[in-house]
């Protein structure tokens, strides 16, 4: 586990984009696991710039996204498919046919979970999985639970998550209550995981996830066991962890 402190959001984004672009330069046909939310937007902006400058070529990459709101179709502006199209895919030279997001409109939830797991299996190992972290420690939409999930599941969002995500909607009631989410076992099977976090509201959970017990009540804590985990967090998100375990932080100056 490597924990790297970034100066601020922009520095975190540059560092994360640097790692993703290095992955793609070294292995042009990489399978990238991608995330949505406020945190990766800056990383995606950097990747778009690098792609436009000719520094990184996504034409042979394939991507799988972590999750999607149940009930929202690809054309819905609040869907994660739309998020990915607008914040990354439509601005880089990726083949859209090689980008995968769960189908939120599939009302056969069992079938959708099986279908997405089938896609993941066909893809093979994810080379680099980008992750955010929820204020409750969720990764993808794997909320605190009694056990770690395995495959793709239809999950019920917790109140914490609805509260956090309402900023992307007009009002809290508009936030979907269910989502399709890749399971923890699938996420964990990536060769390398890059978790990014920014802002004071992530300080407590980041500290608990990487210095505390490994337990399904804190889903991100399982990542402590991953041999190729990189955490990049800005000063605010790192503020608690750096006090509790400065020895874990690489540039703890
Ligand atoms: P955020 O979400 O990037 O919008 O903070 C992270 C997450 O919930 O995984």
pLDDT in tens, 85-118: 999 999 999 999 999 999 999 999 999 999 999 9
* Residue-level pLDDT at 91: 98
The pLDDT, as a whole number, for residue 37 is: 96
The answer to whether residue 251 scores a pLDDT higher than 90 is: no
What is the per-residue pLDDT across 197-224, written as a single tens digit (0 to 9) for each?
A: 999 999 999 999 999 999 999 999 999 9
Residues 130-155 have a mean pLDDT of 96
Pocket-testing residue among 13, 65, 133, 144, ligand 1, by greatest number of atoms within 8 A of Cβ = 133
Among the ranges given (78-87, 117-126, 243-252), the one the predictor scored with the smallest mean pLDDT: 243-252
For residue 131, the ligand 1 atom closest to its alpha carbon is 9
Closest alpha carbon to 12 in 33, 50, 40: 40
Q: Is 67 a catalytic residue?
A: yes
Active site residue 143: yes
- In the structure encoding, which two tokens stand for residue 173, read together? 């009631």
**Mean pLDDT across the chain:** 96
Task: Give the binding-site residues of ligand 1, using a 6 Å CB cut-off.
Answer: 37-39, 132-134
> Exposure string (b/e) for 54-73, b if CB count within 10 Å is 16 or more?
eebbbeebbbbbbbbbbebe
- pLDDT tens by residue, 187-199: 999 999 999 999 9
Q: What does the alpha-carbon distance between residue 92 and residue 103 come to, in Å, rounded to a whole number?
A: 22
* pLDDT computed for residue 201 by the predictor: 97
Least confident of 46-50, 142-146, 148-152, 157-161: 157-161
The alpha-carbon radius of gyration of the chain (Å, integer) is 17
Judged on CB neighbours under 10 Å (0-12, 13-18, 19+), 42 is buried
* Cα(112) to centroid(ligand 1), Å: 23
């Amino acid at each position: 586990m490597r924990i790297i402190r970034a100066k601020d959001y922009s520095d975190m984004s540059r560092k994360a984009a640097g790692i993703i672009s290095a992955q793609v330069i070294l292995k042009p046909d990489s399978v990238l696991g991608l995330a949505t939310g406020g945190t990766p937007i800056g990383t995606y902006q950097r990747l778009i710039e690098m792609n436009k400058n000719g520094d990184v070529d996504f034409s042979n990459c394939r991507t799988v996204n972590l999750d999607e709101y149940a009930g929202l179709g690809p054309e819905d502006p609040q869907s994660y498919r739309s998020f990915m199209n607008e914040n990354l895919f439509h601005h880089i030279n990726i083949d859209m046919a090689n980008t995968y997001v769960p189908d939120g409109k599939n009302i056969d939830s069992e079938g959708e979970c099986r279908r997405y797991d089938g896609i993941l299996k066909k893809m093979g190992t994810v080379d680099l999985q980008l992750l955010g972290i929820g204020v409750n420690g969720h990764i993808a939409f794997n909320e605190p639970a009694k056990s770690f999930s395995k495959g793709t599941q239809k999950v019920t969002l917790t109140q914490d998550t609805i509260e956090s995500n309402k900023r992307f909607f007009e009002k809290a009631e508009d936030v979907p209550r269910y989502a399709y989410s890749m399971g923890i076992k699938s996420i964990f099977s990536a060769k390398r995981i890059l978790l990014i976090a920014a802002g004071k509201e992530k300080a407590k959970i980041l500290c608990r996830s990487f210095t505390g017990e490994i337990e399904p009540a804190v889903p991100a804590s399982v990542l402590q066991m991953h041999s190729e985990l990189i955490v990049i967090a800005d000063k605010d998100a790192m503020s608690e962890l750096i006090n509790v375990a400065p020895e874990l932080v690489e540039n703890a100056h």
